Structure 1
Amino acid sequence: MPTDDLFSRASPRSDRIRVGIGGWNYAPWRKNFYPDGLPQRRELEYASRHLRAIEINGTYYGAQKPETYKRWAAETPEGFVFSLKAPRYVTEGKRLAATGKGIHGFVHGGLAEMGDRLGPILWQLPPSRPFDADDLAAFLDLLPRELDGTPLRHVLEVRHRSFVSEAYVALAREHRIPTVYTDSPDYPNLADLTGDFAYARLMRSADDIPTGYAADALDTWTDRARQWSNGEDCEALPHAAAPLAKGKPRDVFVYFISAAKHRNPAAAMALQERVDRG
């Protein structure tokens, strides 16, 4: 395959709203996303030129070598970013307050090699972990806010119903940690803005829709992404506390995750196209 073909559908870059998928190695995508004959070693190169961001799930199961982070960054174009899921050995332990060593080892274990390709670090709490204000506050205090002089962005995904509370929202806002809006039938849907960027993980792709989500649903998510980007709250989404008044513009990350996973690249490209229309 000619190298130029990998860049033929690259779209204009916008730093404010990025839409992406989880990972890039998935066999069914070789039939409906990647071109026939594309070597697997070039799948990241291709995907990063058709999407604005990718959320890496592999780091959830274990940190990678510095050389791996460096290679990922080198294969992607300027303006592209990765979100990294932090290792589960940090978030699934008995006490979050005792995770300082694990946090330090992950953050300082090679992430600096990603340079400006490093986007948000996602700390996903398991469904079995209820809200414990003191333990969570101690954990959030442990998260480093910069790496080699560069600001770090952390985001928290909560999966226990007890987090749907004003007390949690107040604590997250105090620590300026955004909360994932998890659009899932299985986990709490919490759209309260608690940090300076917005992060959504969409989990309702349908197998019988080529773009994963119907056109009207994609239009709705376009409006929501623009609202967040403009500094507005999406009052139509579930909140645990009162929606915020309009504030400063925000970066927005939207990922299509799981469900009918083979449809997610098409869903991400369809949403990004809508967002980019202005």
Structure 2
Amino acid sequence: MKIPLLEPTRTYLACVGTSRDMARRELLVGAGAAVRKAGQALRRAAADGTLHGLEGDEFTVEGICTKDFVDWAYENGMQTVAGKRIRDALMAAPVDERCPLCWVGAVTQLDHVMPKSVFPALCVDPLNLVPACAYCNLIKGDTKPQSAEDALLHPYLDRISHTRWLHARTVWTPIGVRLEFFVAPPDSWDPTLVSRVTRQFTLLNLGTRYAQHANRTITDVNQMVTRLRVRGGANVVRNYLLGESETRFAADANSIEGVTYVTLSADDAYCHGPSATHTA
């Protein structure tokens, strides 16, 4: 995803500048310098890959308790006319409205990369607001990374979609073939990136969620595969599956459907049909 072009200070003032409570508005506008400083610190840490090193006590707003500040700036601010425009722009960014944390759920919420309960001064900073599905937002919660290896991928900053790291294997059961997904990163990745991707895969239960998606794809394609077996045998089936995978991989090197098709194409039992199928 592209980094939002929204300017953080203008975003903040748009969220707090129309409060009908004059005393509150003056207090919030006066906190603009602290919010700007917090945004600068966020961007320095993001550039250095040290978001895990940020401490919450450096991101509070003097004179306003954390709960009040978040309620006023984020909860109320994002409901204003200007705030809704900002929220809508952020929510509309992902391709096909897919959650950029799991790549499978539908975007319904904004997630705070650095939790707003710990980093209130960043609660409306566009770089800290990532569109997400409800599942990922719930599982991620309000925890902050404790180390570089512990940090989840930042959808705006971490670019791994062009490199294949998602793989699967076939598993035969009494009801047919199913897939198990796993992380197999390229050798060019450094250990920290490998740890981060593996942690995200585990924390967000991506193996199970991807398998559910893949199994639905298998059910949908089985009838076509059966016809192709009759028409031309295993090679025709394999070529069809490889063609489908290439189409998916052209848009996303880690497409769940792409991995599903290419994994099925490598399984001789699936390509040949029931007579060659394993039994559990």
Interval containing the TM-score (normalised by the shorter chain): under 0.3
TM-score (norm 2): 0.27
**Higher normalized strand content (fraction of residues):** 1
> Whose relative contact order is higher, 1 or 2, with alpha carbons under 8 Å and at least 6 apart?
1
TM-score normalized with structure 1 length: 0.27
Structure with bigger gyration radius = 2
